[in-house]
Structure 1
Amino acid sequence: MKITHVEVWTVPVPAPSPPFKWRAGLPGSGVAGERGILRIGTDTGATGVAYASRPGSASMLRDLVDRVWRDELLGQDPLQREHLYHRIWELDRLEEFALPYLGTVDLALWDLAAREAGLPLWQFLGGARTRIPAYASTTTFDTTEEFLAVADRALELGYPAIKLHAWGDARRDAALCQALRDHVGPDVPLMYDGSAGFDLPDAISLGHALSDANYLWYEEPMREFSVSAYAALGRAVRVPLLSAETSDGSYMNSADFVSAGAATFGLRLSSELRGGISGAMRTAHLADAFRLRAEPHGMGEAERHLCMAVSNATYYESLVTHTEFVRTDGIDAEGYLLAPVGPGVSLPRGLDYPHALADYVNPDPVALALAAA
């Protein structure tokens, strides 16, 4: 089997409705635009795709394919993923690929191989479970009262845990975290994500408040450039740290966080930010070797598969963008994400794809289960 074509397709993605906000200093939910889809095809007819979710990805992928990736991939065996994974890293030495694109080729190759095997990716990777609890991961609301109302709705919908993205003010966020703990009681797992809004002194101060409120993990209070700063934070606070979501270097950099004592809960996984499926699985196995957790980040289709394939994952992240939200597709009434069905990875559901890409969209497992009941 040889790669014979490498191409980019586009799909229009509407703006979130209603729009939502992040912490102070960050842009909000953004506007409508096109996203890119990488498709790799072979002389046997086997194909694989990878969806690039970032704004501007269509033009970025076209440039990378036309200028770098197509010449590298044509004629190669698509099943030699390890060889091609290292080739992308070699090209990165001069190109310095933007972090979300380091794993795009790898994801498409894993999709191709799983489709050829007739298996969902999570089963092709080995499989650890068929469902996992989902947590409601808030965007940023204006008032404490709105956050508490969102928490109530999340629990009513079956979500067993809640994560806050708050305002980016250490004292105000600390008060919110305690108010949420008081509101939901001692038994609901709570987490906090700082979206890299703080320096070390404020991160330590907020970390003490999270410890006092018994939060499960503390995520990205600072930019993840300084492992030393995170190591100092890990020594100063009792709340466990979930680290290395956006740091360059994939599993290699993640290893530095672990060895420095800067990932005391575990490591973030992402096909998009950890160098594809190959990088994410390396990260998960690294964390497991140190008896740490490996938590998939965000709501991508690949992350659903990682949740089912990685034995040391705890939750699936389900983003909550407004107060009248409903459960994300794939999540049942008990708050569990069900294992994806259909071969490969799947493109995200609900978008207006060109006809040639329609067969790459797999059904919602919850809808299938309800139809069969």
Structure 2
Amino acid sequence: MKEHAIERAEVFVVGPDVERYTWADGMSGQYMANIVLRLTAASGLEGIAGAAMITPHGFDRATGETLRHILPDIIGRHPGERESLWLKLRNLGTPMVPQAHSLIDIALWDMAARHARLPLYQLLGGARDKVLSYASTPLLADNQAYIDYVGERRREGFKAVKFHCWCVPERDLPMCEAVAKHFHGQDLALMLDVEQRYDRIGAVKVARRLSELGFRWFEAPLLDTDIEGYCELRRRSTVPVIAAGNTWLDLQALAQAAKAGAWSALRVDATICGGITPLRKVMGLAEALGMDVEIQCWGYTLTQAANLHMMLAYANCTYFEQPVPYPAFEYGAQDVIRTDAQGYVHAPPGQGLGIGIDWKAIEAAAILRFEVRRP
């Protein structure tokens, strides 16, 4: 594979002018930078990846600047060295922005799948070609707004909805009750995500009521690091409980927390946990423990695509997280991922990640751009 040695790496930190959303009471509209990496080999073979960095007040450049200092070690290597490069990058002495490591690994997998002329999910195993999705909402105005919003998503075909909300038990619970009552008997799965903002007392109170309402899961009620609190919550309620998924990124730490009984399913994101290479290990760990991995997909289309391919490659994930409304998450993508009228998302049809990029749009909205070349 010498002809596929990487000769050039291009980084774009993209800050598009799109609608911004919030996920909790008191949160300002969030700026979501799209960090896009393109690797090009001597043969012309390319690999791309994208990851989101979400911050208040303005777009963050940290992931791009981190890549500036580690991409020189990728130049001259080839996509067949994914495990070797992942092991090299996972310990550089001090922790780095996790999206940087993830982008490199995902772009290498994209290159490998393109070289094999396969969609990435088929190269990884190809367990299926579609998966149910849930609409992942922003914070809305009031209970009626949630009822109306869920009704719109139902008419589009969604069979599941996850609420981002005020993250205040006294407001969240009445909203959940109102929506559950309105759509009772309509075969609709409901989830609640409270962004790690409850205390243990509030979490137990809400969890018990969500159990009675038949919620599919309760997400991030406590800080992900509060393993004892999660274990207690699961002992005192029956609703499935999962973490936020942005803190526990190490395989051994995930194994310890899972064996302690902290969560009903694991939760990670390929663009944050280090890429496809470590996420494959997490999927195997969960399968060995008889657990699912409810993978995150919040971000632009390239972020969604990397995670969707993992869901399609393995059988132990039940839902794709579909960020809505669609347009804000599709900037710069020629191919998009949307839920069909039966509530499913399908594998992108192309090779690799299968997402065509509008490079003119990416360049137009880039707030940081640079490249690293082979000498």
Show the 5 A alignment for 1:131-280.
131-186=130-185, 187-243=187-243, 245-264=245-264, 266-280=265-279
Contact 1:304 1:316 survives alignment (8 Å):
yes
Verify: 1:344 aligned to 2:352, yes or no.
yes
| 2:86 corresponding residue in structure 1 | 85
Q: CA deviation at 1:261?
A: 0.5
How many residues in Structure 1 have an aligned counterpart in Structure 2?
Answer: 345
Aligned-partner SS, 2:30: coil
Range 145-154 or range 172-181, more displaced: 172-181
Aligned-partner SS, 1:293: coil
Name the CA distance, whole Å, in 2 between partners of 1:196 and 1:156.
Answer: 31
Q: CA deviation at 1:101?
A: 2.7
Verify: 1:110 aligned to 2:114, yes or no.
no
Contact 1:99 1:248 survives alignment (8 Å):
no
Aligned-partner SS, 2:132: strand
Name the CA distance, whole Å, in 2 between partners of 1:89 and 1:235.
Answer: 35
Aligned-partner SS, 2:293: strand
Name the CA distance, whole Å, in 2 between partners of 1:340 and 1:188.
Answer: 26
Q: CA deviation at 1:344?
A: 1.0
Which digits, 9 at most, give the CA deviation of each residue in 1:220-271, with x for residues without a partner? 112212222222222222111123511143333221221111112x111311
| 1:41 corresponding residue in structure 2 | 40
Structure 2: tracts of 5 or more residues without a match: 299-303, 330-335, 365-375
Contact 1:4 1:41 survives alignment (8 Å):
yes
Name the CA distance, whole Å, in 2 between partners of 1:65 and 1:320.
Answer: 29
Name the CA distance, whole Å, in 2 between partners of 1:162 and 1:211.
Answer: 16
Verify: 1:315 aligned to 2:311, yes or no.
no
Contact 2:195 2:244 survives alignment (8 Å):
no
Name the CA distance, whole Å, in 2 between partners of 1:65 and 1:30.
Answer: 20
Name the CA distance, whole Å, in 2 between partners of 1:202 and 1:237.
Answer: 12
Contact 2:10 2:38 survives alignment (8 Å):
yes
| 1:302 corresponding residue in structure 2 | 306
Name the CA distance, whole Å, in 2 between partners of 1:63 and 1:77.
Answer: 23
Q: CA deviation at 1:58?
A: 8.0
TM-score, reference length from structure 1:
0.84
**Identical counterparts, % of pairs:** 29
Name the CA distance, whole Å, in 1 between partners of 2:209 and 2:10.
Answer: 47
When residues 74 and 261 of structure 1 are mapped into structure 2, their CA distance, relative to the original with a 3 A threshold, is same
Which residue identity is paired with 2:362?
Y
Structure 1: tracts of 5 or more residues without a match: 356-373
Contact 1:207 1:239 survives alignment (8 Å):
yes
Which residue identity is paired with 2:31?
G
| 1:23 corresponding residue in structure 2 | 24
Q: What RMSD, in angstroms, separates the aligned Cα atoms of the two structures?
A: 2.6
Aligned-partner SS, 1:296: coil
Q: CA deviation at 1:143?
A: 0.5
| 2:281 corresponding residue in structure 1 | 282
Which residue identity is paired with 1:335?
G
Contact 1:6 1:65 survives alignment (8 Å):
no
Contact 2:255 2:285 survives alignment (8 Å):
yes
Contact 1:8 1:38 survives alignment (8 Å):
yes
Say which structure, 1 or 2, has more relative contact order (CA 8 Å, 6+ apart): 2
Name the CA distance, whole Å, in 1 between partners of 2:6 and 2:121.
Answer: 26
Name the CA distance, whole Å, in 2 between partners of 1:8 and 1:102.
Answer: 15
Show the 5 A alignment for 1:1-20.
1-2=1-2, 3-10=5-12, 12-17=14-19, 19-20=20-21
Aligned-partner SS, 1:53: strand
Which residue identity is paired with 1:275?
G
TM-score, reference length from structure 2:
0.84
Which digits, 9 at most, give the CA deviation of each residue in 1:309-352, with x for residues without a partner? 12111111112249xx9xx7432222210111111114576671
**In structure 2, which of residues 341, 363, 367 is the aligned counterpart of residue 333 of structure 1?**
341
Name the CA distance, whole Å, in 2 between partners of 1:194 and 1:116.
Answer: 42
Name the CA distance, whole Å, in 2 between partners of 1:62 and 1:212.
Answer: 46
